[in-house]
Amino acid sequence: MDRKKVTIAELQQKKENGQKITMMTAYDYPTAGLVDQAGIDTILVGDSLGMVMLGYDSTVPVTMDEMIHHCKAVTRGAKNSFIIGDMPFMSYQINAEQAVENAGRFIKEAACDSVKLEGGSEMAPIVNAVVRAGIPVCAHIGLTPQTATMLSGFKVQGKDAESAKKLIKSAKDLEDAGAFMIVMECIPDFLGKKITKDLKIPTIGIGAGTDCDGQVLVYHDLVGLFERFTPKFVKQYINLSPMIREALIQFKAEVENGTFPGPEHIFAMNKEEAEKI
Ligand code: KIV
Can you give the CATH number for the domain in which 79 is found?
3.20.20.60
Once rounded to an integer, what is the mean pLDDT over residues 19-28? 98
- The answer to the question of residue 2 being in a domain is no
pLDDT of residue 2: 73
Q: Is the dihedral of CA 58, 100, 169, 116 positive or negative?
A: negative
Cα gap 170→128, rounded to integer Å:
13
Residues 70 and 91 reside in one and the same domain = yes
Q: Please count the structural domains in the chain.
A: 2
Q: Are residues 86 and 148 in the same domain?
A: yes
| Residue from 71, 186, 206 whose mutation best tests the ligand 1 pocket (most atoms within 8 A of CB) | 206
Q: Are residues 124 and 256 in the same domain?
A: no
Tell how far the Cα of 47 is from the centroid of ligand 1, in angstroms: 6
- pLDDT exceeds 60 at position 100: yes
Judge if 97 and 29 occupy the same domain: yes
Residue to mutate (ligand 1; options 35, 116, 118, 187; most atoms within 8 A of CB): 116
Strand partners, 115: 85, 137
Instruction: Say how far residue 172 (Cα) sits from the centre of its chain.
Output: 23
Q: What is the whole-number distance in angstroms between the Cα of residue 70 and the centre of ligand 1?
A: 14
pLDDT score recorded for residue 1: 56
Q: Are residues 146 and 178 in the same domain?
A: yes
232 and 248 part of one domain: no
Closest ligand 1 atom to 185 CA: 7
Q: Which residue's CA is minimally distant from atom 3 of ligand 1?
A: 46
Ligand 1 centroid–CA 266 distance in Å is 44
What pLDDT, on a 0 to 100 scale, did the predictor assign at position 152?
Answer: 84
Whether residues 46 and 121 share a domain: the answer is yes
Query: Is residue 1, in this structure, part of any structural domain at all?
Result: no
Is residue 155 located within the same domain as residue 250?
no
Max Cα distance, the chain (Å): 87
Residues 159 and 265 in one domain: no
Check whether residue 172 and residue 263 sit in a common domain: no
In this structure, the answer to whether residues 202 and 256 fall within a common structural domain is no
CA–centroid distance, 244 to ligand 1, in Å, is 25
- DSSP annotation of 59: S
Active site residue ranges: 185
Name the 3-class secondary structure at 44.
Answer: strand
Q: Which domain holds residue 185?
A: 8-240
Q: Looking at the domain assignment, is residue 3 inside a domain?
A: no
200 domain residue, yes or no: yes
Smallest CA separation from ligand 1 atom 1, residue: 46
Does 271 lie in the same domain as 197? no
> Using one digit for the tens of pLDDT, what is the confidence trace for 173-210?
999 999 999 999 999 999 999 999 999 999 999 999 99
| The predicted structure's pLDDT at residue 124 | 98
pLDDT band at residue 102 under the 50/70/90 scheme: very high
